């Protein structure tokens, strides 16, 4: 595997029968109908950054189905093009729920729920029906600055 990846985003209303055509030439394709965004992703045959950029410039031309739909006015774009390493892609998705946070901090999930009430606890990256999701980097930063003195904090005398 090359270690470099590309992702292109096109926008526009795709009919279900156009999806196969739109994805032609891309190893991975995903269409989100609610926001009308088509994401096409795949590996680049490159070791160095300069090579990855050169190959990425040719990628929209290789996506013959999407190019046809752009020419026909069905899709517009690509409106976004990302070139990244596999390591960068993995870091982007380093997300944690309550169980993973508990393991990382060495506490129970009940304690995580208490910590979530603190003003210095990170804000969730997103909230799902199953709970709040946090970026691992934010939790690690909190953990580095967290005062773990046992017992309740003393009240400040007024």
Residue 97: Cβ within 10 Å count: 16
- Calculate the average pLDDT of the chain: 88
Pick the CATH number of 95-145 from 3.30.390.10, 3.40.50.970, 1.10.1660.10, 1.10.3720.10: 1.10.1660.10
For the chain, the domains span 4-91, 95-145
Q: What SS3 class is residue 66?
A: helix
Q: What is the CATH code of the structural domain delimited by 4-91?
A: 3.30.70
Confidence grade of residue 25 (pLDDT, cut at 50, 70, 90) = confident
Residue 57: Cβ within 10 Å count: 12
Indicate if 95-145 has the same CATH topology as 4-91. no
pTM, full prediction: 0.59
pLDDT score of 1? 43
pLDDT of 82-98, one tens digit each?
998 877 766 667 889 99
């Amino acid at each position: 595997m090359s270690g470099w990846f590309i992702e292109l985003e096109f926008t526009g209303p795709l009919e279900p029968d156009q999806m196969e055509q739109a994805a032609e030439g891309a190893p991975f394709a995903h269409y989100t109908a609610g926001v009308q965004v088509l994401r096409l992703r795949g590996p680049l045959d490159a070791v160095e950054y300069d090579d990855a950029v050169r190959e990425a410039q040719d990628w929209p031309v290789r996506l013959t189905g999407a190019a046809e739909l752009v020419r026909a006015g069905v899709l517009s774009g690509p409106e976004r093009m990302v070139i990244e390493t596999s390591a960068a892609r993995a870091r982007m998705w380093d997300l944690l729920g309550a169980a993973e946070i508990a393991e990382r901090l060495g506490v129970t999930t009940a304690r995580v729920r208490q910590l979530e009430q603190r003003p210095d606890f990170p804000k969730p990256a997103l909230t799902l029906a199953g709970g709040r999701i946090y970026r691992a980097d934010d939790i690690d930063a909190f953990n580095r600055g967290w005062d773990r003195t046992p017992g309740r904090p003393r009240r400040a005398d007024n």
